[in-house]
Amino acid sequence: MGSTGMRQLALDAKNAANITAALSTKIKDELLLRVAEVLEKEQETLIAANRLDLEAARAKAMAPAMLDRLTLTPKRVAEMAQSLREVAALPDPVGAMERTWVRPNGLRVSRMRIPLGVIGIIYEARPNVTSDAAALCLKSGNAVILRGGSEALRSNTAIGALFQRELKALGIPAAALQVLPNADRQWVLEMLKMDDCIDLIIPRGGEGLIRFVTENSTVPVLKHYKGVCHTFVDASADLEMAENLCINAKVQRPGVCNAMETLLVHRACADRFIPHMAAVFAAHGVELRGCPTACALSETIKPATEEDWDKEYLDLILAVRVVDNIEAAMEHIRLHGSDHTEVIVTNDYVNAQRFVREVNSSTVLVNASSRFADGHQLGLGAEIGISTTKLHAYGPMGLEDLTARKFVVYGNGQVRE
């Protein structure tokens, strides 16, 4: 196959996208519900394919955490099916018109949501992404090309085959969902250059993957590199609330992008808050790295280096800095933040409003844990990823972010003068 293979696959996707764009909500939901059913009914097929992936991965001495992510169990397959049912239950964004306005000449103008076309998803070794991402792309009327990690190729192919069988059963071209049939990196490189067929690439995974995609793609890319999320405890903060928010943001799930990586504490409450928190964090097994002022307040805090302020630890490590005021906190965020998520804990109205207005990260929270920066938690119904670049989408992305809006104009013979 080689070069011609990828080209044909993308052209097939483009043709299929013309069909999926016009599908009724009813058919799209039926498709997702049918796939949910066969995923559960034929879970043995999936788990058998997954077993081959796991054997190969073990032979290559894959790390246990990676092996765990790769593994499909009856419970995980049931969760994939459940996700499909949840996406089926979401409102269809296609065709929605939020507002109609009338021009002085009587033209009625509005904007209608339409699918983007063909979406490419490039991800690492989590087979559930195959099913979750496919569901969101199809529900929003797009065709989708999936390229998972090579370690999960057999699992992903098996999941894709179930989708394609149900697509065909409903008279929809199977090319509406395609899993790349091999792990050839050359295919990915070609895919990233097919801006005449593919409308959007969403990479999901580590910083290396994201960088590779961004640097090689002529197709628009929605992505985030990392989440260096800050919590600023203001002078007026309720310190008990601040403690709860900080523990939740750091400890509940330290390996994810919306976990807190840096704690900024106003000088006025530092001597009350930091020694207490040093003990609480120690009890949770969190290593603290602080500025000199913070270190002077607790012996358990190690000195931070300049690099610590830019680190996404994804681990039980936290950088701590004492700041003179809200301006210094916002300046620190501007210099070291990653446009992902920032929190202020405060009871001061003016500071809450300033933080919300002046910090332009993709999610800004007042008196709530950074862990809420998530499509489900914010009420988008589902999440296809998070964007930290401002064009098209910024922050957690849901179904609507997989659509565009065209202008629709109803007239009765108007001409321009």
Q: How far is the CB of 390 from a copy of itself (least distance, A)?
A: 4
Q: Which is nearer to a copy of itself, 153 or 259 (CB)?
A: 259
Q: Dump strand ranges (E) for 197-345.
A: 200-204, 229-233, 260-266, 287-290, 301-303, 317-323, 341-345
Q: Which is nearer to a copy of itself, 64 or 413 (CB)?
A: 413
Q: Which is nearer to a copy of itself, 75 or 416 (CB)?
A: 416
Q: How far is the CB of 239 from a copy of itself (least distance, A)?
A: 12
Q: How far is the CB of 248 from a copy of itself (least distance, A)?
A: 4
Q: How far is the CB of 6 from a copy of itself (least distance, A)?
A: 21
Q: Which is nearer to a copy of itself, 83 or 361 (CB)?
A: 361
DSSP assignment letter at 254: T
Chain positions contacting a copy of itself, by CB under 8 A: 18, 21-22, 95, 101, 103, 107, 109, 112, 114-117, 199-200, 220, 238, 241, 244-245, 247-248, 252, 334, 352, 356-358, 360-369, 371-373, 377-379, 389-392, 394-396, 404-416
DSSP assignment letter at 152: G
Q: Which is nearer to a copy of itself, 159 or 329 (CB)?
A: 329
Taking residue 292's Cβ as centre, other Cβ atoms within 10 Å add up to: 12
- 80, 39 in Cβ contact below 8 A? yes
Q: How far is the CB of 285 from a copy of itself (least distance, A)?
A: 18
Residue with tokens 């290593």: 287
Q: Which is nearer to a copy of itself, 63 or 391 (CB)?
A: 391
d(CA 317, CA 248): 14
DSSP code string of 38-78: HHHHTHHHHHHHHHHHHHHHHHTT--HHHHHHH---HHHHH
Q: Which is nearer to a copy of itself, 325 or 377 (CB)?
A: 377
Strands 177-179 and 301-303: unpaired
Q: Which is nearer to a copy of itself, 117 or 290 (CB)?
A: 117
- 143, 92 in Cβ contact below 8 A? no
Q: How far is the CB of 244 from a copy of itself (least distance, A)?
A: 6
The H or E element spanning position 108 is strand 108-115
Q: How far is the CB of 350 from a copy of itself (least distance, A)?
A: 14
Residue with tokens 């994939």: 80
Q: How far is the CB of 35 from a copy of itself (least distance, A)?
A: 26
Beta bridge partners of 287: 317
The H or E element spanning position 395 is strand 395-397
Q: How far is the CB of 111 from a copy of itself (least distance, A)?
A: 8
d(CA 191, CA 376): 30
Length of the chain: 417
Strands 200-204 and 118-123: parallel
- 230, 264 in Cβ contact below 8 A? yes
Q: Which is nearer to a copy of itself, 72 or 249 (CB)?
A: 249
